[in-house]
């Protein structure tokens, strides 16, 4: 391997901005969600796919895939939400080894109450800052980056 | 408040792509770093600013600010790295209430060994997918989003 090609000043700026903007945007959305509805970002992340699933129920495996979390993180978060009555665990009828997660009535009420302000926040902090042409361009760039990533399994500690 | 203006299909696609691409990119970088150097993303996140600081030392507060982590997450990660001999804690000479984190020789060796492959990976997974004009445009869009975010304090659970 030759001399590493370090990032120049312009590249380092973009790389830092890419990571920091994501972190600060997610933090701002989460802070607003907690103060508005008492739900955390992690609560919402799981309630959302469940609320869109048929009968409000998903295989645990599919739920994990939809949020991209590894198993132990998902399991801890489901346990926390189960204690608060937002979801419940069920055995999978079709597969004895599988388990399912079901949205409860309370969970449905919670996400229905949180969603309108959350979508307003996503518009205010993200979409309203970009023209439709910029949104289209950003979609193109992100898709290109995503398409060429090596496949990895979720790891326990990659939340940065 | 009127009827919420839900995301349309195109907007939902971009929003999902924005979050998923970030997560998968960080995961791919971390998987490669772990396999290449044994350092996690969190290790590298702290070693990097320390390695660039004068004498390899920073106030704990400034280190936390530079990575955007809340105090308890930073403290746990510094403890883990201290046990492995990558950093050490020191009292702050100028401020009795303050503490400092210092890169050890082992920590310096570890980041020096990890950095060349990491910068190669950042180029392969991110920069090489974008033309210089696209990089410039992405910088502009991200800066505009970042500039208008409400100020929030780091919260314990906003790693999504």
Distance from CA of A98 to the nearest CA of B (A): 25
Instruction: Flag whether B51 is in a domain.
Output: yes
Range of the domain at B81: 22-147
**Measured between alpha carbons, how far is A122 from B7 in angstroms, rounded to an integer?**
9
Q: What is the CATH number of the domain that holds A143?
A: 1.10.10.10
Instruction: Flag whether A54 is in a domain.
Output: yes
**Measured between alpha carbons, how far is B45 from A160 in angstroms, rounded to an integer?**
8
Residue of A nearest to B127 (CA): A11
Residue of B40, B125, B146, B147 to mutate when probing chain A, most A C-beta within 10 A: B146
Residue A28 touches chain B, beta carbons under 8 Å: yes
CB B29 within 8 A of CB A151: no
SS3 readout for B6-25 = CCCHHHHHHHHHHHHHHHHH
**Measured between alpha carbons, how far is A65 from B20 in angstroms, rounded to an integer?**
11
Per-residue pLDDT at A158: 40
String of DSSP letters for B71-134: HHHHHHHHHHHHHTTSEEEEE-SS-TT-EEEEE-HHHHHHHHHHHHHHHHHHHHHTGGGS-HHH
pTM of the predicted model as reported, rounded to 2 decimal places:
0.88
CB pairs under 8 A between A and B: 191
**Measured between alpha carbons, how far is A45 from A33 in angstroms, rounded to an integer?**
12
Per-residue pLDDT at A153: 62
> Which of A20, A30, A134 has its CB closest to that of B158?
A30
Distance from CA of B146 to the nearest CA of A (A): 5
Residue B134 touches chain A, beta carbons under 8 Å: yes
SS3 call for A156? coil
> Which of A125, A148, A152 has its CB closest to that of B129?
A148
> How do strand B57-59 and strand B87-91 relate by DSSP bridges?
unpaired
Per-residue pLDDT at A3: 86
Instruction: Flag whether A127 is in a domain.
Output: yes
Instruction: Flag whether A113 is in a domain.
Output: yes
Residue B150 DSSP one-character state? P
Tally the C-alpha atoms within 13 A of residue A115's C-alpha that lie toward its C-beta.
18
Instruction: Flag whether B42 is in a domain.
Output: yes
CB A156 within 8 A of CB A73: yes
Domain count for chain A, please give it. Answer: 1
Cβ of A18 within 8 Å of Cβ of B68? The answer is no
In the predicted model, residues of chain B with pLDDT beneath 50 are 156-160
Per-residue pLDDT at A87: 98
CB A74 within 8 A of CB A60: yes
Distance from CA of A48 to the nearest CA of B (A): 12
CB B149 within 8 A of CB A133: no
Q: How far is CA B64 from CA A41, A59, B54, in A?
A: 21, 38, 17
Instruction: Flag whether B12 is in a domain.
Output: no
Radius of gyration of chain B (CA): 19
In the predicted model, residues of chain A with pLDDT beneath 50 are 156-160
For residue B44, give the nearest of B121, B99, B107, B126 by alpha carbon: B107
SS3 call for A140? helix
Instruction: Flag whether A57 is in a domain.
Output: yes
Cβ of B4 within 8 Å of Cβ of A142? The answer is no
Cβ of B135 within 8 Å of Cβ of A14? The answer is yes
Per-residue pLDDT at B157: 42
Residue A30 touches chain B, beta carbons under 8 Å: yes
Instruction: Flag whether B76 is in a domain.
Output: yes
């Amino acid at each position: 391997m030759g001399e590493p090609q370090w990032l120049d000043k312009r590249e380092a700026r973009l790389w830092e901005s890419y990571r920091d903007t994501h972190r600060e945007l997610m933090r701002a959305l989460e802070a607003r969600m907690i103060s508005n509805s008492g739900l955390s970002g992690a609560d919402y992340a799981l309630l959302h796919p469940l609320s869109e699933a048929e009968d409000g129920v998903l295989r645990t495996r599919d739920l994990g895939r939809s949020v991209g979390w590894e198993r132990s993180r998902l399991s801890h978060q489901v346990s926390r939400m189960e204690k608060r009555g937002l979801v419940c665990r069920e055995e999978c009828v079709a597969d004895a080894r599988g388990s399912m997660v079901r949205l409860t009535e309370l969970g449905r009420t919670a996400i229905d109450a949180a969603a309108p302000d959350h979508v307003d926040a996503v518009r205010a902090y993200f979409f309203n800052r970009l023209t439709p042409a910029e949104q289209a361009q950003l979609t193109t760039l992100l898709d290109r980056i995503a398409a060429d990533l090596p496949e990895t399994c979720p790891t326990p500690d990659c939340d940065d």
